[in-house]
Amino acid sequence: MKKFFALALAALAALVSCQKESYSPEPQPQTQPKIVFELTASYSDNAPATKAVKTGWEAGDVIFVFFEGVEAPKHLQMRYDGAAWTTVEMNGDTEGAIGLSNGKEGLMRALYLPFGSDSKISSGGSSEPRFFIENDNYYATRSYWLTGTLHYVVINNKVSGAFNMTIPEGFVQFYIQDPDAATKLAGKDEYTLSCPAVTPCGINAINATGLAIERDYMMGDPAYAGYKMCANAYKGGFLFSGCLVDEENYLNTYGNRYYLRRTFLEYNGIMTPVETKDLYVTPLNPLVSHDAVLLPSYDSPRWMPVDGSNSAVELSGASGSLGAWKIKNYGDYVPAGSEWLTTFNFQTANALGEKVPSRDEWEALIDGLTWAPIVVDRGIKGMLGVDKDGKYIFLQNGHYWTSTLFDETSAFCVQVESGDPVDKLAIIFADPTAPLAVRSMAGPTDPILNTFNPEITY
C-alpha cells in the first residue's frame, strides 16, 4: 500500500510540474518605434518653375506625401503653421501609422494643391492601387499643383529630406481681380474662363506603382483646347489655370493672338447662362509654360459683352467709319455659339427684319480691317478682323449672305475659311436657295457697343 501511495504522489508532482510549464507567460512582441519625419519643402518665388500668382507657403497649407511600398490610402501630411512644418501619419482621413520601419526605402512624392489642403485620400476601390484625391469642392482639384520627389531611406527610425516643389511643365495661370470673388464662389454659381491655347487640367490620383500623377483632363482629352477652366477664389480675385496645348502648333497657326471668353452661370436647380464676355489680346510675347497672366479686372470695360443682346461694335478703317456690326450671327446666343451655323436662303435672310450688309458694305469691311485666323470657344475656327483702334469682330468659318443680287440665278455672299489650306475671306456667288448664315449690321434702334481693346502685357 505504501508503494502505491508513493507512486501516486510522484505522478501528481509530475502533472503539477507540466501544468506550471504550460501556463508560463509567452514573450510579448516588441512595440514598433515611432518613425520621425524631418521633411521640409521649398517654394521659391525666384524659381521659373514656380512663377505664379501665389508664390509662397501660407499658414494652413498641407502637403500630401506618398511612399513607394506603402498601400493606399496611407500617406503623410506635412502641415504648415506659418513658420514651420509638422507631420501627421494618415490612413485615409484618420490618423494612423503608415507602416514604415528601419531599412525601408524607395521613392516618395510630395503633392501640394493650392486650394485643396482639406482634400482626402482614398484607395477608391480600384483594382489597380491608387491614391485618389477627393474634395467636396470640385474646383479644388481642378487647378494647378506643385510636386516634388525624393528617395527615402528609414535610418534610425527617421526619414529626412527637403522637397523642391515645382509646378509641372505646361501649366499657365490667369488672374481676374474681383473683391467679391470668394462670395460669388461660395454657392453653386459657376464662373469660368476659356482660352483656345489652354486645356483645363486637374488631378485625379497618384498611382501607387511608381507614384506617377494621373491628370484629369476635363472633356476627357488633352487635345481639347478652349474648354472652360474652373475658378478658385484667391486674394480678391478669380484664379484659373490649365495646360498649354502644343505650343509650337498653336504659335505656327495663330501667333501671339488669344481669344478669351468669360462666363457666369447661375444655379437655380439648373445652370442658367447669365453673362458671357469676350476679350481679344495680342501680347508682345506668346504664352509659355509657367506664365501667370494678369487679365483686366472683372468690371473692366475691356471685357466685351456678347451674350443674347443686339450689341454691335462700331468699326473704323483708314478712310473712316465701316459702320456698326453685330458681334454675333443671327440665331446665335454668343459669337461661335454653336459649331453649326444657323442658316437661311437669300429671300428669308433678307426678310428677317435685320440689316443684311450689301456687297459694298462687306467689301469695305474686308478691305478696312486687319484679318488673321483665330480659334475661339470649344475650338471653333474663323477669321478675326481688328480695326485701327483695336476694336474687333469675329467671323466663324462658313458663308454669309449679302443683300445684293447678281442676277436672277445668283447672289453675292462672303466666304470665310481659316487655314484650309490657306485663309480665305472673299466675296463670291451663291445660289439664292442655298442655306447661308447672316451677320447683320446695327439698325437705327440697335444699341451700339463702342469697345476699345489695347494690347495687354504680362
pLDDT in tens, 143-202: 999 999 999 999 999 999 999 999 999 999 999 999 999 999 999 999 999 999 999 999
Residue 367: pLDDT above 70?
A: yes
- Looking at residue 379, its pLDDT comes to 84
Strand pairing partners for 133? 121
Q: How far apart are CA 295 and CA 307, in angstroms?
A: 20
- Looking at residue 247, its pLDDT comes to 67
Q: How far apart are CA 409 and CA 401, in angstroms?
A: 15
- Work out the average pLDDT over 435-439: 98
For residue 367, report the phi and psi dihedrals to the nearest 5 degrees.
-80, -25
Residue 420: pLDDT above 80?
A: no
- Looking at residue 458, its pLDDT comes to 39
Query: Residue 452: which pLDDT band, with cuts at 50, 70 and 90?
Result: low
Strand ranges (E), 58-145: 62-67, 74-80, 85-91, 94-95, 105-112, 120-122, 130-134
For residues 331 and 446, which has the higher predicted lDDT (pLDDT)?
331
Q: CA 4: distance to chain centroid?
A: 95
Specify whether the CB–CB gap between 302 and 180 falls below 8 A: no
Residue 72: pLDDT above 70?
A: yes
Residue 11: pLDDT above 50?
A: no
Query: Residue 18: which pLDDT band, with cuts at 50, 70 and 90?
Result: very low
Q: CA 373: distance to chain centroid?
A: 24
- Work out the average pLDDT over 215-243: 83
- Looking at residue 443, its pLDDT comes to 84
- Looking at residue 15, its pLDDT comes to 43
Segment (H or E) for 252: helix 247-254
Residue 405: pLDDT above 50?
A: yes
Q: Using one digit for the tens of pLDDT, what is the confidence trace for 286-309? A: 999 999 999 999 999 999 999 876
Segment (H or E) for 244: strand 237-244
Q: How far apart are CA 426 and CA 444, in angstroms?
A: 27
What b/e sequence results for 381-394 when a residue is b if at least 16 CB atoms lie within 10 Å of its CB, and e otherwise? bbbbbbbeeebbbb
- Looking at residue 28, its pLDDT comes to 55
- Work out the average pLDDT over 334-363: 95
Q: Using one digit for the tens of pLDDT, what is the confidence trace for 304-325? A: 999 876 789 999 999 899 999 9
227: left (phi over 0), alpha (psi -120 to 50) or beta: beta
Residue 66, Cβ density class (10 Å: 0-12 exposed, 13-18 middle, ≥19 buried):
buried
Q: How far apart are CA 256 and CA 293, in angstroms?
A: 14
Cell triple for residue 23? 501556463
Query: 3-class DSSP state for residue 208?
Result: coil
- Looking at residue 55, its pLDDT comes to 77
Angle at 399 between CA 395 and CA 401, to 5 degrees: 100
Q: How far apart are CA 34 and CA 66, in angstroms?
A: 18
- Work out the average pLDDT over 75-103: 96
Q: How far apart are CA 387 and CA 4, in angstroms?
A: 127
Closest CA relative to residue 202, chosen from 239, 246, 243: 243
